[in-house]
Amino acid sequence: MAKVYDALRKAEEERGRQAGGVPGSPVASPAADFVAPTPGRKGRRKGSTHSESIWERWIGALRRGTEDPNAINKRRISQLMPDSFVAEQFRTLRARIDSLAAQRPIRSIAITSALQGEGKTTAAVNLALVNSMNLERRVLLVDCDLRNPKIHKSLGLRPEAGLAEVLEGAASVDKAVMRVEGTSLDVLPVRSQPPNPSELLASARMRNLIEELVARYDLVILDTPSTLALPDAKTVSELTDGLVMVVRADVTPQDDVEAALDVLDRRRVLGLVLNGAQVDEAYYGY
């Protein structure tokens, strides 16, 4: 926690020195191996100012209310529109990770972001979907956001049990895992939101669970909470073979990206995904 506190304090001090300025544009760290655009909105988040604290923005993201169906469907665009430009970008991302996996084992990947609303769940869902399209590859998507789960809604699932029940010993993995209709993708969703999410994710049961899932599947993708303000992303990512950070173009301040990378072990970052980038699809022949 000391490292998390130091990173947050550093970000707040930097923000205080630059109060009233324009948020810096996101930059890739030296560890970044790929940048891929994903569906997202353009421009700065409404109500966000450079002097607004990490805590205020995180809480504000949770209070924005129920999402419309278009926003939910956008998270699974690789399933609904498999021939789209965006789906092809996730296939490119899949190929980059496969290239890295040829150099060292990558059986589990955590997906995170600096703050809420950057598009990490979109990246996690679509990356899992395109990986599940590979023949003879068993893929599992795990929702590790026990506070604000979204994966079951995005994929139209109605779980009877989920991650919390498995970690609490109230349900087996087989009972909790669900298959997404029309795909070969398995999902371990969140059903109930426990009062002690951080403790559950940091428990020995969570470590043992990931080991069990990696033994069952060729690839396990874990959608974690955002890195800043909560310890969960760091806790979960340390149990995986690597992590991918999602950055929203023209929205995520540079100092928040740097603070998040300070919290996480930069050596374990497989790369950054630039979400919401404005790309001329005609240039690529679409």
- Rounded alpha-carbon distances, angstroms, from residue 203 to 13, 166, 197, 235: 33, 12, 10, 10
* Residue recorded with tokens 């490119």: 92
Q: How far apart are CA 58 and CA 204, in angstroms?
A: 28
Distances (CA, A) of 82 to 79, 152, 160, 223, 279: 6, 20, 29, 21, 18
pLDDT score, position 31: 34
Greater pLDDT, 26 or 101: 101
- How far is residue 255's CA from residue 10's CA, in Å, rounded to a whole number? 9
Q: What is the pLDDT of residues 180-213, one digit of tens each?
A: 998 999 999 999 999 999 999 999 999 999 999 9
pLDDT tens digits, one per residue of 27-82: 333 333 444 444 444 334 433 434 444 444 444 444 444 455 556 656 766 665 66
Higher-pLDDT residue of 172 and 22 is: 172
Is the pTM of the predicted complex or chain greater than 0.85? no
- What does 185-225 look like in DSSP terms, one character per residue? -EEE---S--S-HHHHHTSHHHHHHHHHHHHH-SEEEEEPP
At 250, the pLDDT band (50, 70, 90 cuts) reads confident
Provide the mean pLDDT of the chain. 78
Every domain of the chain and the residues it spans: 2-19+36-44+54-280
Is the pLDDT at 24 greater than 70, yes or no?
no
Q: Which amino acid is at 168?
A: E
- 2-19+36-44+54-280: CATH superfamily: P-loop containing nucleotide triphosphate hydrolases (3.40.50.300)
Q: Which residue has the higher pLDDT, 189 or 23?
A: 189
Residue keyed to tokens 């991650």: 163
Out of 17-31, 58-72, 107-121, 235-249, pick the least confident.
17-31
Beginning with the edge strand found earlier in the chain, give each strand of the sheet holding 269-275 in spatial order. Answer: 178-179, 186-188, 139-143, 219-223, 108-113, 242-248, 269-275
Report the distance separating Cα 257 and Cα 246, nearest Å: 9
